[in-house]
Amino acid sequence: MAAPARVLVVDDSPTMRGLITAVLSQDPDVSVIGQAGDAMEARAAIKQLNPDVVTLDIEMPNMNGLEFLEKIMKLRPMPVIMVSTMTHRGAEATLAALEIGAFDCVAKPQPGEPRPFGELAEKVKAAARSQHRHQSAPQVQPLATAPAADFRVGRKIVAIGSSTGGVEALIAVLQKFPRNCPPTVITQHMPPTFTKSFAERLNRLCAPVVEEATDGARLEIGKIYLAPGGERHLQVANASAPCCRLVERAPVNGHRPSVDVLFDSVAELAGRNAVGVILTGMGRDGASGLLKMRHAGARTIGQNEKTCVVYGMPRVAYELGAVEHQLPLTSIGEEILKLTAARKEGIE
């Protein structure tokens, strides 16, 4: 039996430290070994206790969470889960933290929330098991020029699903896309309000237009649509003029939006005229939907184990037979373009 994941909780609020500790202590496979109220206390605790995982508040006195995270990743890389407010400022800071190398993020609970920090224990355990726990994330570089200027797009739709580790993974994939990329729809597991900031961040970093999906938005060449977090699932609909649909429905696989819901709709709408991609993430969301896509004739890609932050969703998809090609992250963008380019004898 594996030893419990040893966690250091860092937050300037004693109330929040107590709540996080109480939530994590309910899981027998997690052990909170210490608390710290600021970066100085946290640095001493890390040296003394050598935790497996750190939960880190974004906003702290003296040195904020981002500055401290950068020091951790340079001097003593380890899995860090960021704890953020649901504000626009909190979302921007969290996305920066994920690019620096944070393992994942959780949102601070709203008043009256029934299950505060509901997924935190699972994320802590996944972080403790992570094969990337001693590696810092590569720094994201702004895109200087549009890649693949001679790319001729065909008629395929691209659907991508991701979760833990997906911020860095999606940036790596989408920065390979040219300005005239195929219409692309994405479901990334992310707290509400964070997806708008993430879409804006991707739009600054990538050649195509990236936007948060809206109900009824037409799928167009050169546009990428990111599912909004929270209340609805993203689907595609209308075979004669494909568009985004945001549908109210219970969570699927514990998620809303769900990758399976997106992939199921793409399988039904586009069939062989689609490419499905499943990237790093916890759990199994998207695996069965990707299998439906492959059965419908779509080409399918899964991120390989070595380059995943968490080889969960891609592993299940691969084991189900949903993945046609399993590739390292650095090759996935190019492969998508190969599969969606217009053929020499005519547009697909």
Rounded CA-CA distance 17/34 in Å is 10
In the numeric block, which tokens belong to residue 138?
Answer: 């590569």
Q: What is the pLDDT of residue 87?
A: 79
Q: Which domains does the chain have, with CATH numbers?
A: 3-129 (3.40.50.2300), 155-338 (3.40.50.180)
By the 10 Å C-beta count (0-12 exposed, 13-18 middle, 19+ buried), 335 is classed as: middle
Q: How many CB atoms lie within 10 A of CB 272?
A: 11
Give the pLDDT of residue 133: 45
Look at residue 172 in the predicted model and tell me its pLDDT.
96
| 331 in active site | no
Q: 84, 162, 163, 288: which one is catalytic?
A: 163
- For CA atoms 193, 100, 180, 318, give the dihedral sign: negative
Q: Judge whether 97 and 65 are in contact, CB under 8 Å.
A: yes
Whether 109 and 118 have beta carbons less than 8 Å apart is answered as no
Give the torsion through C-alpha atoms of 130, 250, 273, 219, to 10 deg.
-100
Q: Active-site residue 285, yes or no?
A: yes
State pLDDT tens for residues 250-298.
999 999 999 999 999 999 999 999 999 999 999 999 999 999 999 999 9
Residue type, 153: V
Identify the pLDDT of residue 141.
Answer: 52
- 10-residue mean pLDDT series, the chain (348 residues): 90 95 96 96 96 94 89 93 86 91 90 83 93 48 56 90 96 96 96 91 96 97 96 95 96 96 98 97 97 98 96 98 97 96 60
Distance of CA 15 to the CA centre of its chain: 29
Catalytic residue among 132, 189, 233, 255: 189
Any idea of the CA torsion for 200, 204, 209, 215, to the nearest 10 degrees? 0
pLDDT tens-digit series, residues 185-200: 999 999 888 999 999 9
Measured CA to CA, the distance from residue 249 to residue 235 in angstroms comes to 11
Q: Yes or no: say if 156 and 275 are a contact pair by the CB < 8 Å rule.
A: yes
Condensed to tens digits (0 to 9), the pLDDT of residues 18-33 reads 999 999 999 999 999 9
Residue by residue, what is the 3-state secondary structure of 95-127? HHHHHHCCCEEEECCCCCCCCCCCCHHHHHHHH
Q: What is the pLDDT of residue 346?
A: 45
CB of 218 within 8 A of CB of 189?
Answer: no
How far from 323 is each of 127, 158, 170, 279, 341, CA to CA, in Å?
Answer: 25, 15, 18, 11, 20
- Which one of 11, 52, 260, 285 is the catalytic residue? 285
- Annotated active-site residue 136? The verdict is no
Dihedrals phi, psi of 317, to nearest 5 degrees: -60, -45
